[in-house]
């Protein structure tokens, strides 16, 4: 006979089963280890999201193979085939719209997106960045952190706006910088942070706990402070 507790648990499980997972479109340019962490998280029966498709601007990105191995459809839009950035953005926007995702996830996507595209997906596009934003936007974050003698570093998930790496912060994880750290040892530890915080932020969004409203990210109705 089922106890009250276990029948409630069964009810909760069937609710999770009944509600549709949030469909993700993940944009990559390279190795795709964050994509892999997201695919792995989505494999859990109770995870509220599913990777519906992966898009890369780099035909040789290894992340495309990771997607194929997981049975996820892949698309390539090679930025070199477009004369103007706006044409590339337009093609990307149309493809994503066709796929009708609940959330667009940038995971090591190395193209700067223009205003029209970021406005179109405002509040439903996230990025992961290897620094404690607003510090160290842009490239080579690990080397710059070391050159500045910082004693802390980390990773940030944020909503995407038209300003590079400057959208409202959703979640960060910090790590201490060790005296013998190199850019590659730091990169490795920051990656581990990313694999933890990105799926968590996606799950918040997918369950309706996370919103962007008037340039502020809210979790459970309260503004998120970096």
Q: How far is the CB of 139 from ligand GRF (least distance, A)?
A: 9
Contact 181, 146 (CB under 8 A): yes
Q: Tell me the closest approach of the beta carbon of residue 120 to ligand GRF, in angstroms.
A: 21
Site for ligand GRF in 24-63 (CB under 6 A): 30-34
Q: Give the one residue of 48, 102, 123, 130 binding ligand GRF; rule: CB under 6 A.
A: 130
Chain positions 152 to 191 lying near ligand GRF, rule: CB under 6 A, are 191
Write down the least CB distance from residue 140 to ligand GRF, Å: 11
Give the total of residues touching ligand GRF (CB under 6 A): 12
C-alpha 202/C-alpha 34 separation (Å) is 12
Pick the stretch among 19-27, 112-120, 124-132, 170-178 that binds ligand GRF (CB under 6 A).
Answer: 124-132
Least Cα distance to 80 among 124, 104, 39, 110 occurs for 110
142 included as an active-site residue: no
How near is the Cβ of 64 to ligand GRF at its closest, in Å?
Answer: 11
Rounded CA-CA distance 74/91 in Å is: 15
Task: Tell how far CA 85 is from the center of its chain.
Answer: 22
Residue with the CB atom nearest ligand GRF in the bound state: 108
DSSP codes joined into one string, 211-226? EEETTEEEETTEEPP-
Chain position carrying tokens 């040892």: 185
Q: How many Å apart are CA 30 and CA 25, to the nearest integer?
A: 16
Q: Which of 197, 191, 184, 117 is nearest to 158 (CA)?
A: 197
The rounded radius of gyration (Å) of the Cα atoms in the chain is: 18
Instruction: Check 79, 120, 129, 153 and give the catalytic one.
Output: 129
Which x/- pattern over 88-107 shows residues binding ligand GRF (rule: CB under 6 A)?
-------------------x
- Active-site positions read 129
Site for ligand GRF, rule CB under 6 A: 30-34, 107-108, 128-130, 191, 194
């Amino acid at each position: 006979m089922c106890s009250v507790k276990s029948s409630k648990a069964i009810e909760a499980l069937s609710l999770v089963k009944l509600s549709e997972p949030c469909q993700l479109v993940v944009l990559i340019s390279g190795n795709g280890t964050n994509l892999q962490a997201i695919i792995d998280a989505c494999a859990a029966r109770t995870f509220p999201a599913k990777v519906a498709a992966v898009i890369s601007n780099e035909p040789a990105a290894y992340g495309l193979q990771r997607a194929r191995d997981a049975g996820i459809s892949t698309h390539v839009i090679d930025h070199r085939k477009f004369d103007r950035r706006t044409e590339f953005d337009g093609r990307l926007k149309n493809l994503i719209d066709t796929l009708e995702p609940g959330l667009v996830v940038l995971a090591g996507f190395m193209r700067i997106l223009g205003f029209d595209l970021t406005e179109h997906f405002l509040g439903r596009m996230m990025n992961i960045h290897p620094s404690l934003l607003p510090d160290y936007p842009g490239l080579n974050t690990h080397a710059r952190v070391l050159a500045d003698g910082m004693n802390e570093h980390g990773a940030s998930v944020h909503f995407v706006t038209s300003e590079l790496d400057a959208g409202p912060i959703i979640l960060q994880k910090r790590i201490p910088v060790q005296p013998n750290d190199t850019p590659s040892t730091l990169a490795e530890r920051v990656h581990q942070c990313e694999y933890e915080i990105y799926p968590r932020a996606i799950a918040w969004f997918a369950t309706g706990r996370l919103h962007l409203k008037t340039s502020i990210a809210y979790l459970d109705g309260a503004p998120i402070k970096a």
